[in-house]
Chains A and B, each alone.
Chain A
């Protein structure tokens, strides 16, 4: 394809989107679906609208291309009101990708991608060039161009959906749970692919999801919505994780926040427990005395070799004789290193279905015992911190509640 044409096609760039008191009311019902939404989305950013179902996030998104007409207020795209144009004409200039993909079953992949270019009357050669460019962009085999959607996997269909949305290089893309219908592994892959793609194309994207993890991953900014499209917090993912604006946001981000901290923590960073260590040939009476001590943290004795490398757990039967045997009756179970990420360590514990895991240093010497209990205590204590902050902010709580009450 001639380079000149390529640069012309990617000239589209991105536009800002600005909600100005955007309101949607159905019939005469007193509670609007979206109530005076003000939101500024900067050009080239992914803005994720996230919230519980019925919060008005999809309605807010669909007002941009007037799939849902505004009752009040306005939305500006690149400074231009969406109300200025005919709805269908407006929609051709805005990319649209939905969860169910909605590919046309009776048209080939290439024809699907060419939908909007055809509506805009592009000539055949330009459409052909753009289609192959897009197939390349989404990493789809050009041989698939003449297949029908039903012959593609779910993930491939979703990629074609994205390509179709990008066909005329629109300045704004609307994506409604675009990866919601694919399995978790493919979703992860599609998300990563899309982020790489976005780094290249830098579109303004309104992205709707109910999944806070996806929001944190995909968003440059996240708008957390409550009912009636009320934005509770509009901030970067880091800000939302570090400083939730209020209880609602906190709840919505929820336990996930604490779990995320586990990814930042290593096993060695935490105070581990100690189990009574026993060496082969040691007197079992000593070991039993240690186990009977009132401050014992782990009620089992760990068999270690001469280099303090853990070998296994000693059972009652092992300790029935006079001296500690050379092999332990119970296997060691998961073995962790101090450098392991806490989240993986937890996974190991849960997967091994064991209460305790021995933690060793780089030389394989025992340094302590990690238990599910230690991790849950850690999570509880970080929850406690969140609660403290919540308590500090609580004075605002009643005001907010009365605001909402006054509105309804």
Chain B
């Protein structure tokens, strides 16, 4: 909890956290009384404010987790690129993590790291490793042999070949991995509520919510919009930093 990165947002949302888990509105609106009623507009209009903080929490969880996941996966990829023997164990290791059921992962971590955002972030970052690592590796592997041969033949050092040729050419696949990782993290981060880390999950799994579809629909819609936004932003960034790809599709057309 003493990380400056985590301290600020936690303080901002800390006091509401407990409340969300239990609190429902005092009065019962007519449409709430019928469980068969799918969406209660009146309730939604009245209670839309309560989604602000969980949305912010969710947003922060996703960003922090994907950034950490990317840094770790990138380091793994550089290692595996340099020492090919490491590629398989790293792929297998991150694969195993990826295969652990997400809810179980959160619950298993609780005794070790305790409740709170750190636990959620550890789990969420760990999930992104496989996708990001795999995409970086395949991006590097897809750089044409002839391009690398020409680079070496012109006197680029191995390090220069990696940073000036291989990684730039792998950008589309690396960003592709980030996009999948980010979108899936938005979804999985709704489970962060089980680590008491807040997020949109509070409005889905919170007490009483599971029998009240309106809140699930609102929280779910926010999550979907968030995922689409992340995806669009990443795609735009990728297009901006890989102008040669646009040239390629124009040439093909």
Contacts and interface: CB of A to CB of B under 8 A. Distances in A.
B203 to A, nearest CB: 44
A176 to B, nearest CB: 9
B247 A148 contact: yes
Contact of A88 (B144, B156, B244): B156
A150 B248 contact: yes
A380 interface: no
Interface in B109-154: 144, 146-154
B213 interface: no
B250 A151 contact: yes
Contacts of A174: 153
Interface in A140-186: 147-148, 150-151, 161, 164, 174
B247 A116 contact: no
Given A89-B155, A90-B155, A91-B152, A105 B244 contact: yes
A114 to B, nearest CB: 11
Interface in A102-139: 102-107, 115-116, 119
A150 B242 CA distance: 13
A65 interface: yes
A253 interface: no
A151 B247 contact: yes
A19 interface: no
B223 interface: no
A100 interface: yes
Given A88-B155, A119-B156, A150 B147 contact: no
Contact of A148 (B148, B150, B151, B244): B244
B165 A104 contact: yes
B152 A67 contact: yes
Nearest to B157: A88
B248 A101 contact: no
B168 interface: yes
A102 B156 contact: no
A91 B247 contact: no
B90 interface: no
Contacts of B153: 65, 67, 91, 96, 98, 102, 174
A101 B154 CA distance: 12
A210 interface: no
B231 to A, nearest CB: 23
B1 interface: no
Contacts of A106: 165, 168-169, 242, 244
A101 B146 contact: yes
Given A147-B247, A150-B247, A104 B155 contact: no
B251 A151 contact: yes
Contact of B150 (A92, A101, A150, A151): A101
Nearest to A90: B155
Nearest to A152: B251
Contacts of B242: 106
A116 B165 CA distance: 14
Interface in A68-104: 88-93, 96, 98-104
A105 B150 contact: no
A164 B154 CA distance: 9
Nearest to B153: A96
Interface of B: 144, 146-157, 160, 165, 168-169, 242-244, 247-248, 250-251
24 contacts: A88-B155, A91-B153, A91-B155, A93-B155, A96-B150, A98-B153, A99-B146, A101-B146, A102-B144, A102-B147, A102-B148, A102-B151, A103-B147, A104-B150, A104-B165, A106-B165, A106-B242, A115-B154, A116-B155, A119-B156, A148-B248, A150-B247, A150-B248, A150-B251
Given A98-B149, A102-B153, 19 more contacts: A65-B153, A88-B155, A88-B156, A91-B154, A92-B155, A96-B150, A96-B153, A102-B144, A103-B147, A103-B150, A104-B150, A105-B248, A106-B168, A106-B169, A115-B156, A119-B154, A119-B156, A150-B244, A151-B247
